[in-house]
Chains A and B, each alone.
Chain A
Amino acid sequence: MILAESVTKQYGAAAVVDEVTASIREGTMTTFIGPNGAGKSTLLSMVSRLLKRDGGSVSIDGMPMEHFHDKELAKKLAILKQSNEMNVRLSIYDLVSFGRFPYSRGRLTAEDRRVIDESIAYVELESMQNKYLDELSGGQRQRAFIAMILAQDTDYILLDEPLNNLDMRHSVQIMKVLRSLVDDLGKTVVLVVHDINFASCYSDFILAMKNGKVVKEGRTWEVIHPDHLKEIYDMDFQVQEINNQKICVYFS
């Protein structure tokens, strides 16, 4: 379990994340939702140690994050940010091998190669594993990065807007992969998503933020409700059940 207690991030006088307390259960998919500037990404960055907190504490499986050795934490928790511009020209295989860095520090063992092959196969990129990242489409790129995180073989996988700039087909593909990580491999997946219907159809838990605070937290089925959504987004939603999934309609 990841437990964040009174986590705060301030820029000047403004608190972007204001004493947020949240917990993430193992073996589930939790989605952070909320309007732009609500502090979702900032919270995710603090939970994953990319950003220093101004207050509060984060613990992973009962141990404060600071007590982990850098290398050990990298085997426990992986984070993928939304912009993955690279200065280096890498092939898919090279990129995914970096996922093994916490284990072998660049000297790949047979075991590493097995995990790398598995990870690439998991996101179905075997046929193009020697292609360079700049030759890929947005969806393929995103899958390549997910394969790198998979090769890292962590219990917790955190993703900041993994569906950014992807079309519907690729978004569904990514979400299916993430869902199977939870269902088949028992991973814990946390992600920031802007499309409320993806959150509704795929995640187990939803954490809704607004103005740096958590406004709603709970099972997806409970959170996806017109009243709650209105509170979160300040707009009207219609929620319809289609094939046992709650679909939000908000376009007009």
Chain B
Amino acid sequence: MGSKWKIILLILVTLVLSTVFMTIGADGNWEYVLPRRGKMLAAFALTGGAIAYSTVVFQTITGNRILTPNIIGLDSLYLLVQTFIIFVFGSLSFVMTTANVNFVLSSFIMVGFAFLFYKLLFRGEKHQLYFLLLVGFVLGTFFSSLTTFMQVLMDPNEFQTVQNRMFASFQRVETDLLFITGTVFAILTLLGLRYRPYLDVIALGKDHAVNLGVPYDRIVKRLLILVAALISIATALVGPIMFLGLLVANVTYELMRTYEHRVLLPASMLVGMSSLLLGQLVVEHVFTFNTTLSVIINFVGGVYFLWLILKERKS
């Protein structure tokens, strides 16, 4: 099957899942159901797309199929910010109760952190990519420790609120936030498209890319910042979903079996949205809301991750 047909098939699958999601069990209560579910559908499209896109780009840059952009500690930073706000100002504070303020604050802090992080680490000449990731990983652990520290000291009722933030939630999303993130994502994705031709070559490795005339350092730096911005905003919108990117990117590689990002990027975004939809349907109709979407995604993603590691070790 050609790549074009596979993409068309993926679009169909996404459309069918969306329709099922929007209509199932609606019982004619369209006025209640449609806006509520439409909002979630938009959130699925935005976060699924953004996370898939950024994970594929990140894995291409690092040449590693079991890494996700979260490795530089953005998830941990998000939780740190949430915990800190609740710890200092309380769960009923203005920042916590006003979703827009919280979103803007969290995303600014995360994008700012990523920007500073890359800025500082790319300043020297010897910026080995893996050194960079290792520093990010250590920072992530540091953020987690700080978070745990505050959570331990916290009032148990306040901790409840923190706990809610630890899992992604699509119901929580505010409509006006969707418009803002939608616009920002569209701009970032379009900016990223300018570098799309380079991605295929970057996948060959640094030496080949430089040989073929790719301004490697400059482009990789910009792409990494782009990836971090997408992940930060997606996380600020719905909360952390660790394994989604990993799951989606690898399923896309298996499905498409090509190296061309022209195909991989759109396909991954469709897979991203479909996985979230499928997960949500399972949560609603199999588990009847006894579990959350991020638990399902992290469970399936985590199992897949282990399987990938075992497979890599064998080959």
Residues of chain A whose beta carbon lies under 8 Å from any beta carbon of chain B: 48-50, 52, 70-75, 78-81, 84-90, 94, 98-99, 101-102, 105-107, 152
Residue pairs across A and B with CB atoms within 8 Å: the count is: 58
* A72–B212 CA distance with the chains assembled, in angstroms: 10
Kindly identify, within residues 183 to 212 of chain B, every residue whose CB is under 8 Å from any CB belonging to chain A. 197, 200-201, 203-205, 207-208, 210-212
Q: Which residues of B contact A (CB under 8 A)?
A: 63-65, 125, 197, 200-201, 203-205, 207-208, 210-215, 257, 259, 262
Q: Which residues of B contact A84 (CB under 8 A)?
A: 208
Inter-chain contact B197/A106, CB cutoff 8 Å: yes
Q: A94-B259, A106-B197 given as contacts; is B211 within 8 A of A87 (CB)?
A: no
Complex alpha-carbon distance, A186 and B101, angstroms: 66
A97's nearest neighbour on chain B, judged by CB, is B200
From the candidates B125, B203, B212, name the one contacting A102 in the complex (CB within 8 A). B212
Q: How far is the CA of A107 from the CA of B259 in the complex (A)?
A: 15
Q: In the bound complex, what is the Cα–Cα distance between A48 and B125 (angstroms)?
A: 18
A86-B205, A87-B205 as given contacts; A52 in contact with B125, CB under 8 Å: yes
A50 touches B210 (CB 8 A): yes
Most chain B C-beta atoms within 10 Å of own C-beta, residue among A48, A80, A85, A101: A101
* Contact A98:B212 (CB < 8 A) given known A50-B207, A88-B259, A105-B197: yes
Q: Which residue of A lies closest to B216 (CB)?
A: A70
Chain B interface main SS type: loop
Question: What is the minimal beta-carbon distance from A57 to any residue of chain B, in angstroms?
Answer: 17
CB–CB A74/B212 < 8 A: yes
B213–A71 contact, CB under 8 A? yes
The answer, among B125, B204, B207, for a CB contact under 8 Å with A88, is B204
Give 18 A-B pairs besides A78-B211, A98-B212 with Cβ atoms closer than 8 angstroms: A48-B211, A49-B210, A70-B213, A71-B213, A75-B213, A81-B207, A84-B208, A85-B205, A87-B63, A87-B64, A89-B257, A98-B201, A101-B214, A102-B213, A105-B197, A106-B197, A106-B201, A152-B212
B204 near A86: Cβ-Cβ < 8 Å: yes
User: CA separation between A172 and B109, bound complex, in Å?
Assistant: 60
A87 CB to nearest chain B CB (Å): 5
Nearest opposing residue in chain B for A49, CB measure: B210
B230 to chain A, nearest CB (A): 22
A50-B207, A88-B203, A106-B197 known; A101-B259 Cβ under 8 A: no
- A70 close to B215 (CB less than 8 A): yes
